Structure formats: C-alpha cells, structure tokens
Amino acid sequence: MAFLKPEAQPKPKLKAPPGAVDTHMHFYGPREKYPWAPSRVNDPPLAWVGDYKAMQKHIGIERVVIVQPSHYATDNRATMDAVREMGGPAKARAIVVVNEKDSAEEMARLTKLGARGIRFHMLPGGVLSWDTIAVMAPRAQEHGWHGQLQFNGRELVDREAFIKRLPGTLVFDHVARFMPPVTVDDPAFKVMCRFLESGRCWMKCSAPYESSITGAPRYEDTSVLAREFIKRFPERMLWASNWPHPGRDNPPPGDSDMLDLLLDWAPDDKTRRMMLVDNPTKLYGF
C-alpha cells in the first residue's frame, strides 16, 4: 500500500481559505515504536508527520484532526505524539479510541493534549462494540468529547433508535458510508437526514472511494448523496482528506482530487468556506 507524494500530483484547482481544516486523516509511525494491533485488516505504509505536512502545504490546509486508526486499537501513543509534532492543540486535534478500562484521569489527560472525541469504528478492524458505545458515549460528554461513528450507513434504519439514545454530539464519517450507495429516497438516507436535522450531528464529506461502485474520478453514486446533504445541511458538513487513504493503492487517490471534489459537491465559495473553516472550527474548538 502506498500514497501519492505531492510532487506526483497537480496542485488543486480549489484554493482553500485561510484556516482550513482537514477533519479526518491517520498517521502510521515507525512499527518498532508503535506496534500494530493483531486486529488490523491491512498493513499500512509509514506515513508520518513530515509526509503529511508536505501534502498539507501542497493543498493549502492549515489545521488537522488526527483520527486514531484501527491499526493501533486503543494504543493512542502514535496519534497523540503526532498531535504534538503537528504543533499541539493550536494546530491539531485528535479523535482517540478508549474503552471502559480507561479512567477519567486518562481521558482528562488526553483532553489536555488535544483529544476531542472517541472513534466508534464498527467495521472490520474496529475494536469497540455497539455495547461499548452505549457505555462510552456518556463518558465522552463529561470531557466535552463527541462520538465519531463509522459503519455501513445501510444499517441506519435498524440502528436509528439506538443512536438517538446516545447523548451529545455525533459525527458520521465518509458521507455516511452507504455500502453500496443508496438513492436519496431510500429509508436509510432519510434517517441520516433526520439526524442532521436534529442540530447535534455532523457529517464528513470525504473518502467517496470507500463506498462508490461507479468509482473515480467523479464517484457519481456517492457524489449525488454528498451534493444533496450539502444542499440541505451546509451548516452540518465537514471536509476531510482521509490521508493516506489506507487500503487504497490501485491507484492511490490524489489529495488534490479529494479537495477539488468540493467544486462539484458544494455550490459556492460561501458553502465551501463553511465546510472547510467555520464548521470544523466550531465543532473541534480551534
């Protein structure tokens, strides 16, 4: 698995506004320092701070939210070390993975270092169960954290009642990751709209390749959903690179291409600024 270096891709057509935030990416440090979890589903390449800073400069993004990859399970050392190397909480935030064994003191320590949420990754490689979400979501609120959810969005109809009972702010990854994509009149799409209407939920418009069947460069089956969500709920939308695109290397997605999808998905500069600057600044507390 590999990722494109900045010099191997063109500059994006979209000029990111000052203060733009990448709300979802991962770091993979030296394996001898940060060992992988046995539960991982693939072996990522070394993708560390210098690599990301080069990409960040290439596409014009100033701030970042580092998401704990499933490859490290509940060992958050690589993620939190990367927050520090990226400039600390002024420039970087973290979404970590903690469970019932982690104390309030440990969660407070992570908060001070820049953690702002718990990742609930309910797909192969994830380490927290739905039962754990019910326990940890209330604990997250005690520290000002939100819950970040990634699962097959087609399950939303069956999961709606459970998710509605979760307290506080929730963030849905990757255009709700309907696998395969649904239509805008599908019941699962309507459930997602109800969550966004609630005023406590957000969505990351990112990584269309994780669910698209039609594929690059336009990912039209996922893009039609992204456009509709953005049209209806611009104040709840976020953008993310998903760098270094784990598990996708045939060919690896281009980071400039991922940013330029906003030229298709979002109708105007005002909406794009909301997604890149205003919304993430509010959610993550930059």
pLDDT in tens, 193-210: 999 999 999 999 999 999
Burial group, residue 248, by CB count within 10 angstroms (0-12, 13-18, 19+)? middle
Q: Which residue has the higher pLDDT, 250 or 164?
A: 164
Cβ atoms of residues 253 and 216 within 8 Å: yes
pLDDT at 44: 86
Q: Is the residue at 71 inside a domain?
A: yes
pLDDT at 121 over 70: yes
Q: In this predicted model, what pLDDT tens digit does every residue of 61-72 receive, in sequence order?
A: 999 999 999 999
Q: Is the residue at 198 inside a domain?
A: yes
Question: Taking the C-alpha atoms of 88, 83, 272 and 225 in order, what is their torsion angle to the nearest 10 degrees?
Answer: -150
User: Which tokens is 225 given?
Assistant: 């959903």
Q: Which residue has the higher pLDDT, 41 or 190?
A: 190
Q: In this predicted model, what pLDDT tens digit does every residue of 71-118 receive, in sequence order?
A: 999 999 999 999 999 999 999 999 999 999 999 999 999 999 999 999
pLDDT at 267 over 70: yes
Which residue range is the domain that position 232 belongs to?
6-284
* 3 state SS of 47: strand
Instruction: Name which of 40-54, 75-89, 176-190 the model is least confident about.
Output: 40-54
Q: In this predicted model, what pLDDT tens digit does every residue of 15-29 receive, in sequence order?
A: 999 999 999 999 999
Q: Quickly state the pLDDT bin for 1 (edges 50, 70, 90).
A: low
46-51: long-range contacts (C-beta < 8 A, 24 or more apart)?
47/3, 47/243, 47/244, 48/82, 49/82, 49/85, 49/86, 51/3, 51/5, 51/244
Q: What is the pLDDT averaged over residues 138-153?
A: 97
In percent, the amount of the chain with pLDDT more than 90 equals 94
Total number of domains constituting the chain:
1
In percent, the amount of the chain with pLDDT more than 70 equals 100
Q: Is the residue at 73 inside a domain?
A: yes
In 3D, which of 25, 118, 63 has the Cα closest to residue 280? 63
In 3D, which of 283, 89, 257 has the Cα closest to residue 201? 283
pLDDT at 39 over 90: no
**Average pLDDT of every residue of the chain:** 96
pLDDT at 5 over 80: yes
pLDDT at 187 over 60: yes
CA 26 centroid distance within chain: 9
**Cα 159 from Cα 116, distance rounded (Å):** 24
Q: Is the residue at 1 inside a domain?
A: no
Q: What is the pLDDT averaged over residues 22-44?
A: 93
pLDDT at 169 over 70: yes
251: cis peptide before it, omega within 30°? yes
Break the chain down into helix, strand, coil percent, rounded to 5: 45, 15, 40
Q: In this predicted model, what pLDDT tens digit does every residue of 225-259 receive, in sequence order?
A: 999 999 999 999 999 999 999 988 788 999 999 99
| Sign of the torsion angle spanned by Cα atoms 209, 48, 146, 140 | positive
pLDDT at 247: 85
**What CATH number is attached to the domain comprising 45?**
3.20.20.140
